[in-house]
Structures are given as structure tokens and as C-alpha cells.
Structure 1
Amino acid sequence: MSSRDLILGRVRHALADLADDPAPYAQAVERTYLREHGERTVGQTVALLAENLADYRAVVHRCTGPEVAGTVARLLSARGARTVLVPAGLPPDWSADVTADRVPDSLSSTAYDLDRADSVITGCAVAVAETGTIVLDGGPGQGRRRITLVPDHHICVVRVPGQVVSSVPQALERLDPARPLTWISGPSATSDIELDRVEGVHGPRTLEVLLVDEQPTPLDHG
């Protein structure tokens, strides 16, 4: 008997005395939790996202659509980036002013190839204000998961307010669970037994987030 057969046999044995439940899964699980903690305006939601991103040590920038290219170019120049990964489907105007060599996201790229890229630029699927989390799903302009895990510097563009939600439940409603979801809360970091924080262990050491205003969203607080 294989290990797989053994494990599945134990699962079947554990479930043997459970009665059949014809209710759909969506109805079988009670969902009485809060969908959002408090009431906020759009501006307050965006402000909360910026605050929580910064709390996770992401570097947050705000700009308008026409300013994206210049902002991206400035951030790459400040890093001294000579090469930048550009996934398929990234809006061309986001990298229009970039002088660094563009590296396409290729299936043939090895981890060593990706490690030689100084930076990567992506969009995102959704951003969660209450947790300061950005979610990528491999859609256009996001590329495969590994291109945001290997390079040391990640610039992520979030469209405001269209891609911003308050809570995780609201984010899940927008996401397809069959897609490769990457949940990012700040730059990669870990702590040893003495709680010394080390960044860049299993992902980018620096995460810079561009909150791009599609329409005015004043940062009001009350």
C-alpha cells in the first residue's frame, strides 16, 4: 500500500460516520462575521491602505495616471537599477520613461536569471486596506509568481480606488481561487529566535507601492 492510499484510507475512515449533508457549501458554512470593520469613505479606505502598507515597511507613493511613468523611472534611478523585469500585459505607459534594460518574463528564465534582474514592475489584482495586503493573481501586467519573489526590488502599481477594498472578505469576492494567488503584506521578512528581523529572505527586500489616483480620493479622516 502506498503512502497516498494509506492517507486517503484514514480520511475515509474518519468521515465514515458523518451524515450526508445535501446543503451547498456556500449555505453549509455560517458566515456571520463582519465584512468590514467600521464605516469609511473612499478616501479614508485609501488612507488606511497607505497607513498599513507603511506599517509593514512598504514604501508608499501617490501619483496620478500621467505621473506613473516618471515616478517609476525615478524610483528605478534611485535604486541604480540597470535591469527591470516587465511582465506581459503591463501598460506600456507605466515604463515609458524607464532607461534600464527591460527583461521580459520568459518561461525559460531560471531563478538565477531572475536574480540578476535589479527590479520588477507589476500591477495587482486587488489591495486590502484593513490588512495592508496586495494580491496578485497572475493576470495581465502581473506575470508569474516567481518574478515577484526573486528580484530584490518590487514596484507594484495599485489603481485607486478601483482596486482597493476594505477587507479580506471583499477581496475574496473579486478573486478566482483557481488562479495562482500571491498575498503580499510588505517586503519579505522573517525573525530568528532572538526576534532579529531579516528582510529579503524569501522575496524582495524592498517593496514600493504606487497608489495611482484614477479619480480624486482625498485622504479625509472624519
Structure 2
Amino acid sequence: MSTARTEILGSIARALDGVPSGIGQGELAEVPRAYRRTSDLLPGSSQVIDILIDRLEDYKAHVHRVSSMDDIPAAVRDILSEANSVVRPAGLPESWLSMLPPSTTVTTDAPRPGSQGLSPYELDAIDAVVTASRVSIADTGTIVLDGQSDQGRRAITLVPDTHVCVVLASQVVHLVPEGVALLDEHPERPLTWISGPSATSDIELNRVEGVHGPRNLHVIIVG
């Protein structure tokens, strides 16, 4: 046996030292969870919303507040006033885009059996995407999409340069465990976790935006 293999197997054996023997043979031990699983702040409360906005703005996302669902079309129009083309998931309410100027081309991404929907090349030619969301976590400034019809495929939220995401105040929780508990209701759904616009830094800490996703993230908080 090679030295490297011996070292690797030895590391695994040391890591497993003390683990109940049933683990790995179909038996699961209860994992101790000493961290906070619920917050004293209610989902959708003004305190939780304020925390989310603070985190999002720190990540250089653009936050827009509206009072009701009826205000969404005007907010989308103002945000995308210079966009020539927009893509929407098939389940997104058409009314949300109803106030865009007639010159703006709106494309619906509607994958069908045997079709994957718009290709990455087609999406790359589109200026912006508008989606809903599943849950937002104030403590980390994170918005989570779970692939439902009003959120669409992951590709449509990663390729266009601008993402406009609608967040209902009632969907905002304080802590990560609270968000995970909601997502665990449908563990089969694909998740996209968004914490601000896409950004990375090189070894000299020069920030570059738009490398792994949209350069611009606009969040419309409703309520």
C-alpha cells in the first residue's frame, strides 16, 4: 500500500474514531443542534425586513420598497426602463411586466418535454430577468429560489446581466435554520441561494462583478 493511501485511510480512521458503529450501515444517529433554530423576531416583521435591507445594501444590491402587489408593475418599469429585452419564467404573473414600454421584448422561458427552454446563448443576449422567490433570510441577506414556475430554471437567473427579484415581506425570516425548515418541505426542488450580485476578488482584493451571475441585483420587497 502506498504511503499516500496509508495517510488518507489513517486520516479517515481518526476522523471516524468515536462515531457509533451503526453509522454508515443504515442507522442514523441524532445530530446535536445547540444553535438557535428559531428567532424572537417574527417573519415579515419590520425588524426582520430592516436587517435584510441592511445586508442586501451591504452586498451592493439595489432595494426597492413597495406597499402592495399592485405596485410591482410600476417598480419593474422603473428598474428596467433602459432594458431592451427581458425574460420571465412561465409562471410569473404577466401583470408584473405589463407597464414595460412596448419597445421592450419580453420572452417567456417555458421548457417543454424534449426542450430545455432558452439556450445559454439566447439568454446571454437578454438584458434582464424578473422572478419571484421562495424565502429570504435576513441574517445573511440571502434570497433563495426553489425552481417553481414563478422562479424558473437556475440558468435564467444566472446568465442575464440584471436580475429583478420580488420578495414578499411574509417570506422573510430572520435566521438560516428558519429558512432551511421552510425549504425542507420540498427537498426535491433545486435551490439557488443569492447573496447580492455576483462578485469575486483576485489576490489583490480587486472586486469584479458579474463573473458567476448577474452584475446587478434589484430586490423589490412587497409589504
Length-normalised TM-score, structure 2: 0.82
- Aligned-pair identity (%): 47
Q: How many residues align?
A: 198
| Residue 197 of structure 1: how far off its partner (Å) | 0.2
Unaligned runs of 5+ in 1: 1-9, 214-222
TM superposition shift of 1:48: 0.6
Which structure 2 residues correspond to residues 142-161 of structure 1 after superposition, within 5 A?
142-160=151-169
SS at match of 2:140: coil
Match of 2:97 in 1: 95
CA RMSD of aligned residues (A): 2.3
Alignment of 1:82-121 (within 5 A): 82-99=84-101, 100-105=104-109, 106=111, 107-121=116-130
Partner residue, 1:68: 72
Structure 2 gap segments, 5+ residues each: 1-8
The worse-fitting range, judged by mean Cα deviation, of 90-99 and 185-194 is: 90-99
Shift of 1:109: 1.7
Match of 1:35 in 2: 37
Which residue in 1 is equivalent to 2:59? 56
Tell me the TM-score normalised to structure 1 length.
0.82
Matched residue, 1:133 = 142
Task: Please state if 1:47 is matched with 2:56.
Answer: no
Of the three residues 160, 175, 178, the one matched with 1:170 is 178
- 1:183 pairs with 2:193: yes
Rounded to whole Å, the distance in 2 between the matches of 1:40 and 1:18 is 37
Residue 214 of structure 2 corresponds to residue 210 of structure 1: no
Change (3 A) 1:23 1:45: farther
- Could you tell me how far apart the structure 2 residues matched to 1:119 and 1:19 are? 52
Aligned CA distance change for structure 1 residues 53 and 202 (closer, same or farther; 3 Å): same
**In 2, distance between residues paired with 1:165 and 1:108?**
32
SS in 2 for 1:28: coil
